[in-house]
Amino acid sequence: MRFPKFIPTLTLSSEEEAQQVMSILSQSSCDCIEVTLRDGVSINAINYLSNSHELNVGLGTVYHPDQLDGIEMDRIKFIVSPGFSLEILEFSQHEAITYIPGVETASEIIRAVNNNLNVLKFFPAETIGGISKLQAFASVFPDVKFLCTGGISTDNYKEYLLQENVISLGGSFVLPRKLLDQDLNLAIDHLKNLQPKKNRAEALSSNPSFEGVLSEILLSSLRILSFPLGGL
């Protein structure tokens, strides 16, 4: 699957809450979410989100396949666990779902790589060494990419994104629970501000404005004027 730069991580307690989150994500150009299977999680909320064809839904805090009873797995895109689980690996392979186990040490990375997994969860990022440890892993495991969570915030996330072996960032900082409870517009603005900004060329190509169209007309006019009339 394609990994976005940011993956909101939430525990949803009701379908109504899922509808609220869906509205925020759609208005923020965010097409991915990890729903954690912690106490109070609503299976109906997960199934509601996963029924959207525009949203990539993953499950987090998974440590045994028994937790997944009642979830429509054919629409789930990825599973994240705090550590490596052979049972979850086999389940994910059977369901053709991306599995992202948590790792902390070189030995854990080797075990994951030997099971053909090369996108891993670096967790809890700040506690286990943060940027310096990621840089150390980069030279030893050049083909491994990390989804980093744990201790990442608006104060330090940009430094993580500069690391070549970081594919994505997750956690509560991406879509804070307090914003959901306070003001949906604040939540939308917060998520929009995290998204990578398009440069001018990308913006014009993806959404041709009047300015962009006018530039093309002027260029075409110049080409016509510069055509050698004597050759006609």
Residues 212 and 151 both lie in one domain? no
Catalytic residue among 77, 121, 164, 216: 121
Indicate if 63 and 164 belong to the same structural domain: yes
Instruction: Give the pLDDT mean for 190-216.
Output: 58
Answer whether residue 182 shows pLDDT above 90.
Answer: no
Peptide bond into 124 cis (omega under 30): yes
Shared domain for 220 and 174, answered yes or no, is no
Q: pLDDT of 117-167, one tens digit each?
A: 999 999 999 999 999 999 999 999 999 999 999 999 999 999 999 999 999
Does 164 participate in catalysis according to the annotation? no
Which residue among 5, 17, 34, 211 is the active-site one? 34
Nearest residue to 187 (alpha-carbon basis) of 20, 19, 67, 15: 20
Say if 37 falls within a structural domain.
Answer: yes
Q: Check whether residue 100 and residue 26 sit in a common domain.
A: yes
- Tens digits of residue pLDDT in 4-47: 999 999 999 999 999 999 999 999 999 999 999 999 999 999 99
Residue 1 lies in a domain: no
Number of domains in the chain: 2
- Annotated catalytic, 121? yes
pLDDT in tens, 106-120: 999 999 999 999 999
Q: Tokens 């394609």 belong to which residue?
A: 2
Q: Which residues pair with 148 in a beta bridge?
A: 122, 169
DSSP 8-state code for residue 100: E
Q: Is-contact 47 28, C-beta < 8 A? A: no
Q: Give this prediction's pTM.
A: 0.84
Same-domain pairing of 229 and 154: no
What lies within 8 Å, CB to CB, of 48 at 6+ separation is 15, 18, 19, 22
Share of the chain above pLDDT 90, in %: 79
3-state secondary structure 155-172: CCHHHHHCCCCEEEEEEC
| 93 plus 124 within the same structural domain | yes
What is residue 36's DSSP assignment?
A: E
